[in-house]
Structure 1
Amino acid sequence: MISPKGLATLMSLVWLGGCAVGGAPPTRYTLPDDAATPPAPASGAEARHQLTVRPLRLTRYLDVEGIVFQLDDITLQEASGHQWVEPLGRQLERGLRERLAHRLPETRVMLEADAGNETSQRLRVEVERFQGRHDGLAVTEGRWQLRDADGRLLVLEPFRVTTPLAADGYPALVRALGHSWDGVADEIAAGIRRLR
């Protein structure tokens, strides 16, 4: 594991280097796939339950192209040379659907746009932190809520998952953020199973 001071120094140099290059195109990243080995998800008539994932809410400072890094306890920086390949909210929403489908094999998990008028439980996730941190951790934080088909609130829970970076640099940060998102899916799936 890298030292917090080493990570902060590296990230500062990478950021400053990116600024000095000027016209160089940014490096773009996508979140990794689910790290868990998934069982085959149920679909259609085989599924005993249905779950609709509503559009994910992303706090404003994360709704940017650049990957966000926390330099110290109060300073956040959006990287100009290291950006998401597509909007982060869309990646997180799609990734959550796939991860939940793996963790809840008896559940048909759909995005709201694909659900139509089907009656199902509805999941809403708000992400307040999804960033690297100066102490060598990737931090994912927010809350999730589940409502029944009639709109009644069944559960409202916070989540906070931290994952140590395995190495220096943005590729390691993106992989650690992906592992943190795996952990969020684990928590949500466990919460949904408790209600059944």
Structure 2
Amino acid sequence: MKTPGLPFMLLAFFLSLAGCATGGTTTERYTLPGGSGTQNPAASSNHGNTAQHTLIMDSLELASYLESQGIILQSDDIRVREASSHLWAESLKRQLDRGLRQRLVNRLPDTRVLGGGGSAEALHLRVNVDQFQGRYDGLAVVSGRWQLYDDDGELLVLESFNVTHALESDGYPALVRALGRAWDQVAADIAKGIKAER
């Protein structure tokens, strides 16, 4: 007897997630996990007086379809749906912004990372997120672009990111954890790009 192939198993996996997107009465809420090596935000928010550089994180922007309570699933190459009973515990934009700031604090120990506002001799970071979702092939997908500006507003770096991570098991908890790992990778790449510009 022939065993089911990978495409069939991926489809079955996705349908189990999609079924959760429309059915059931129990609502579950999720927060993104902290990044690898994440410290206490209160203890490491700006590295005190050891900072040699300042980075201002301007407002992070999300594609409008991501500004929803439900976790987003991409069912094929053109369709997305929002889960009705698997929701973000707080605004995804706020979670991504806070998570990126903390990850950059940990990866740039000589840099004071601030949210918004102006500062002399500071670099400015802008991030646009176009995709942050589960995909029908069993991957978590995070894509977008980031820009780095000097204190005069001159563009120094414009880079795209497109990170995928396979889910380690079925279900929304595995999807949220995979999205967290993808966001870790985005933060690591941005930190590397900032270091290269100094």
TM over 0.5: yes
Q: TM-score, normalised by structure 2?
A: 0.88
1:61 corresponding residue in structure 2? 65
Whole-angstrom distance in 2 between the partners of 1:4 and 1:29: 28
Q: After TM superposition, list the pairs within 5 Å mapping 1:51-90 onto structure 2.
A: 51-90=55-94
Count how many residue pairs are aligned between Structure 1 and Structure 2.
Answer: 188
- Whether the aligned pair in 2 keeps the contact of 1:7 and 1:168 (CA below 8 Å) is no
Secondary structure, counterpart of 1:52 in structure 2: strand
Cα deviations by residue, 1:125-164 (Å, 9 ceiling, x for unpaired): 0000001111111010000001111111111110111111
Whole-angstrom distance in 2 between the partners of 1:96 and 1:89: 11
Q: After TM superposition, list the pairs within 5 Å mapping 1:27-176 onto structure 2.
A: 27-36=28-37, 41=44, 43-112=47-116, 116-119=117-120, 120-176=122-178
Superposed displacement of residue 18, structure 1: 5.5
Closer/same/farther in 2, CA of residues 44 and 59 from structure 1, 3 Å limit: same
Secondary structure, counterpart of 2:71 in structure 1: strand
Secondary structure, counterpart of 1:51 in structure 2: strand
Cα deviations by residue, 1:85-109 (Å, 9 ceiling, x for unpaired): 0010110000000000011110011
Whole-angstrom distance in 2 between the partners of 1:34 and 1:123: 19
Structure 1 unaligned segments of length 5 or more: list them. none
Closer/same/farther in 2, CA of residues 20 and 188 from structure 1, 3 Å limit: closer
Q: TM-score, normalised by structure 1?
A: 0.89
Root-mean-square deviation (CA, aligned residues, Å) is 1.8
Cα deviations by residue, 1:67-121 (Å, 9 ceiling, x for unpaired): 0011111211110010100010110000000000011110011111xxx442211
Which amino acid is 1:129 matched to?
A: Q
- Whether the aligned pair in 1 keeps the contact of 2:38 and 2:102 (CA below 8 Å) is no
Which amino acid is 2:102 matched to?
A: E
Which amino acid is 1:28 matched to?
A: R
Closer/same/farther in 2, CA of residues 31 and 17 from structure 1, 3 Å limit: closer
Secondary structure, counterpart of 2:34 in structure 1: coil
Secondary structure, counterpart of 1:184 in structure 2: helix
- Whether the aligned pair in 1 keeps the contact of 2:52 and 2:111 (CA below 8 Å) is yes
Secondary structure, counterpart of 2:103 in structure 1: helix
Which amino acid is 1:160 matched to?
A: N
2:12 corresponding residue in structure 1? 9
Closer/same/farther in 2, CA of residues 168 and 189 from structure 1, 3 Å limit: same
Whole-angstrom distance in 2 between the partners of 1:11 and 1:177: 16
Whole-angstrom distance in 1 between the partners of 2:160 and 2:17: 33
Whole-angstrom distance in 2 between the partners of 1:134 and 1:55: 30
Closer/same/farther in 2, CA of residues 168 and 71 from structure 1, 3 Å limit: same
Cα deviations by residue, 1:3-50 (Å, 9 ceiling, x for unpaired): 5543433443444356343xx342000000002466x85623210000
